[in-house]
Structures are given as C-alpha cells and as structure tokens.
Amino acid sequence: MKVIELTSVEEMMGTYDVLTELYPSLTQEEYANELAFMTQHNYTQVVVMENERCLGVSGVWIGNKLWCGKYLEIDNIIVSEKIRSKGVGKMIVDYLEEKAKTLGCNMMALDSYTTNFKAHKFFYNQGFSPKGFHFIHLLDKGKIR
C-alpha cells in the first residue's frame, strides 16, 4: 500500500467508486463538476493505493483563519468497506499530519457527522478532539448528500 497525492480532476475521478460508498447518490457527472470547481480553490486528494486499486481517499484543503492561522482541513476520509480496520485511515492521517507540518500549519481540522460514532472513535485515537460546533443553515435540503 502506498499514499499518493492527486491534484487533477482526471486523477481524482479514479476515486469515484470509493467515494460513492459514502455518497451513493453522487453521479460521475456531479463528481466531475464538483472537482472542477474545488480544484480551482486549493483542493487536492490523498489516496491509499494497492495494485492500481484505490483503498481509501481523503479530500484536503489548506486554509487560513484568524483564530488559528494556517491549517489543513480534512474533507472526508473514506476507506472502502472491504478494507476497513486495516490501517488505511491511519496511513492517510499520518501522511496529512506530515504534510501539515511541512507546510507550516498550526493544526488539522475536520467535520464528522454527530451520529458517526465509529469515525469519532477513530479520530480520537488519531489525536483529534472537538473544539466547538459546526453550525449549518440548510438552504436547499435536496442538494445535501
């Protein structure tokens, strides 16, 4: 297994099958359109590959906020259900932590649904802890995956 960074939409389209395990309603066309927009705004992906097969994927943003300065935001960590609990998620987090340090980030951040208890346990084990609430105000419920 090896960790690879993806920067182009074409490369990222190869993660579609793993991504749809979390977002089954996402079409390839929607995914391509979302990626085309996001890659213009500093979005990349990190994947774990084995024999040309994507086992896990995470979106990555580098940002800056007044309260914390430069940070790395993890936008989903999705590991194929068939390979969970085999260290793929940890490989992604470890890789991103080194990337964040190399880029001079002060912290790493992520969002997790309040009902995703397995993910919470994983994130706690990786050194993450809740800092606050992420409030949302839905404007079009039909567009939320």
Check residue 30 and give its pLDDT. Answer: 97
Give the CATH number of domain 2-143.
3.40.630.30
Check residue 143 and give its pLDDT. Answer: 81
CA-based angle 133:89:70, to the nearest 5? 50
For the segment 61-68, the average pLDDT, to the nearest whole number, is 95
Give percent of the chain above pLDDT 90.
83
Q: Where are the domains of the chain?
A: 2-143
Check residue 142 and give its pLDDT. Answer: 85
Quick one: pLDDT band at residue 54, thresholds 50, 70, 90?
A: very high
Least Cα distance to 145 among 34, 22, 61, 37 occurs for 22
Check residue 95 and give its pLDDT. Answer: 98
